[in-house]
């Protein structure tokens, strides 16, 4: 626990001292701001039964931003330490591998929340500027926040795992990109009309990030997807732990 806290703060600090953090934050805020404006315009032009929150987080464009965000914030975690050799100093200090993995993971989750914070501020700002109350309700906002947290946790776990596999940050980033994208695509499988409707296709909705977000951004909280995201992430972190321990045996 001691080592966890120390590494957690060190990681967070070095993340926010790097220019990358601000570039990513700016890009992501710009992309979502652009979408936000377009969404508001579209909703003004046509009657739309869904809320602003729902529409924003259903947009494929929004999720595209994620394919870039997660590789960028996770690629250096272990790959850089391997490349620089600092992994040797880290693992010859009296720290448990699990503490290192969890600390790096947790600090990235916190960094992620800070990065998406400006986007979340759009909603209250919009409300206070326009006085519009019908666009969305608070439940939808909190629900979608929970959704983004869960999705973020899973995608960061994918990135942590990818970064532990290689000493090349570019490869780590590409693996994460593919992982995040595949998971997102997988969520569309049950929409494919070629597939016969069955229990199997119904089961596929478990993987459907978009569907989960839509439920949550309606303000409905379902615990099943929550358990799915958390257990899948835990499994990826356990795999990361395994990879780092295995390193000792072959190197």
Partner 1 sequence: MIHVTNLTKRYAGRTAVDEISFDVGRGEIVGFLGPNGAGKSTTLRMLTCYLSATEGRASVAGFDIFKDSIKVRKRVGYMPENVPLYLDMRVKEYLQFRARLKGMGYRESRAATDEAMDTCGLTDVQRKMINTLSKGYRQRVGLADALVNKPDLLVLDEPTNGLDPNQIRQVRDLIRQLGERHTILISTHILHEVEMTCGRVIILDKGQIKASDTPQNLVRRLRALGTVSVQVKGSPEAAMKEIEAMTGVRSVKHTITRQDWARIEIETEANTEICEEIFQIAVAKKWKLRELVQKTASLEDAFVNLTINKKEKKSDD
Nearer to partner 1 by C-beta: 99 or 218?
99
Residue 191 CA neighbour count, 13 Å, CB half:
10
Question: Closest CB to partner 1 among 4 and 184?
Answer: 4
Minimum distance of partner 1 from residue 214's CB (angstroms): 41
The upper half-sphere exposure of residue 19, i.e. CA atoms within 13 Å in the direction of its Cβ, equals 0
Query: In the bound complex, what is the minimum distance in angstroms from residue 70's beta carbon to partner 1?
Result: 22
Minimum distance between the CB of residue 167 and partner 1, rounded to whole angstroms?
Answer: 12
Q: Where along the sequence are the contacts to partner 1 (CB under 8 A)?
A: 2-3, 6-7, 10, 14, 17-18, 84-96, 248-251
SS3 39: helix
> CB 95 → partner 1: shortest distance, Å?
6
Q: What is the smallest separation between the CB atom of 75 and partner 1, expressed in angstroms?
A: 16
Apex CA 152: angle with CA 149 and CA 154, to 5°?
Answer: 115
DSSP 15-46: HHTSHHHHHHHHHHHHHHHHHHHHHHHHHHHS
In the complex, the smallest distance separating the C-beta of residue 96 from partner 1, rounded to whole angstroms, is 7
Q: Give the single-character DSSP code of 81.
A: H
C-alpha distances in Å from residue 65, one per residue of 24, 31, 159, 247: 10, 7, 15, 33
Maximum pairwise Cα distance, the chain? 63
Cβ closest to partner 1, residue 9 vs residue 200? 9
Which one, of 213, 55, 63, 58, lies nearest residue 135 by Cα? 55
- Matching residue, tokens 């315009």: 41
Distances (CA, A) of 143 to 16, 118, 171, 214: 27, 17, 34, 9
In the complex, minimum distance from the CB of residue 89 to partner 1, in angstroms, rounded to a whole number: 6
Q: For residue 174, which of 188, 162, 160, 184 has the smallest C-alpha distance?
A: 162
């Amino acid at each position: 626990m001691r080592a966890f806290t120390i590494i957690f703060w060190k990681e967070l600090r070095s993340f926010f001292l790097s220019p990358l953090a601000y570039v990513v934050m700016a890009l992501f805020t710009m992309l979502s701001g652009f979408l936000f404006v377009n969404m508001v315009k579209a909703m003004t032009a046509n009657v739309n039964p869904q809320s602003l929150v729902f529409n924003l987080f259903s947009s494929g464009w929004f999720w595209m931003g994620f394919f870039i965000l997660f590789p960028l914030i996770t690629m250096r975690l272990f790959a850089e330490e391997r490349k620089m050799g600092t992994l040797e100093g880290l693992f010859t200090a009296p720290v448990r591998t699990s503490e290192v993995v969890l600390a790096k993971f947790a600090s990235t989750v916190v960094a992620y929340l800070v990065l998406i914070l400006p986007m979340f501020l759009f909603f209250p700002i919009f409300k206070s500027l326009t006085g519009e109350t019908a666009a969305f309700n608070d439940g939808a906002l909190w629900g979608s926040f929970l959704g983004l947290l869960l999705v973020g946790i899973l995608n960061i776990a994918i990135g942590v795992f990818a970064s532990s596999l290689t000493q090349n940050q570019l490869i780590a980033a590409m693996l994460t990109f593919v992982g995040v994208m595949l998971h997102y695509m997988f969520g569309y499988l049950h929409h494919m009309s070629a597939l016969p409707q069955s229990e199997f296709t119904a089961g596929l909705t478990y993987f459907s990030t978009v569907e989960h977000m839509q439920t949550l951004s309606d303000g409905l909280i379902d615990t099943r997807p929550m358990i799915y995201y958390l257990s899948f992430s835990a499994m990826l972190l356990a795999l990361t732990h395994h990879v780092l321990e295995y390193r000792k045996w072959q190197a």
